[in-house]
Amino acid sequence: MSSLPGKTVLITGANAGIGKEAARQLALRPEIVRIYLACRNRGRGTTAKAELEAATGRRIFDVVVIDVADLRSVRAGLAAIGGSVDALVMNAGVIGPQSMELTADGVTKVFATNVLGHAVLLEGLLAEGRLGEVAVLAGSEAARGVPKLRMKRPSLCLNLSR
């Protein structure tokens, strides 16, 4: 797959929340040698990269600008990624008042971000034979709670006595 010995991962929405935490945890695994931080904003991606390097002590992060709500951005991001990826974590998502606005592609921002952009990214990697092992779709908005959808913020409890 990757030209580097070891594994390469691409994570969308990697500058905050679950995406950033996934990047941090994956970077702690020695078999992971490159993590693409796919972010819609280069500045936020660069900040996240610096924070992740400081937290993990590893210099394995590359920022690639991909706004999954914009199909041109998805295709440009695919072209900017060198070689194959072993894993794709489709994490970027949006919800809120702005999510019902239409994108340049004529679909709602919520659909473009949460579904369509990721489908184009995944299909692009598959069509080019550049996805090696796994693709995971992670919905992070539910972790915050979504009052408009009557979803409460979940209470996560660990029972460590087992």
pLDDT for res 95 = 76
Asked, for residue 2, whether it belongs to a domain, the answer is no
Asked, for residue 143, whether it belongs to a domain, the answer is yes
pLDDT in tens, 95-116: 777 888 999 999 999 999 999 9
C-alpha closest to that of 37 among 11, 75, 59: 11
pLDDT at 27 over 90: yes
Asked, for residue 13, whether it belongs to a domain, the answer is yes
pTM attached to this predicted model: 0.84
User: Which residue segment(s) compose the domain that 116 sits in?
Assistant: 7-149
Tell the burial category of 151 from Cβ atoms under 10 Å away from its Cβ (0-12, 13-18, 19+). Answer: middle
Number of domains in the chain: 1
Whichever domain contains 124, its CATH number is 3.40.50.720
- Burial profile 105-130: b = 16 or more Cβ within 10 angstroms, e = fewer: eebbbbbbbbbbbbebbbebbeeeeb
Asked, for residue 161, whether it belongs to a domain, the answer is no
Residue 10 bridge partners (DSSP): 36, 88
Amino acid letter, residue 161:
S
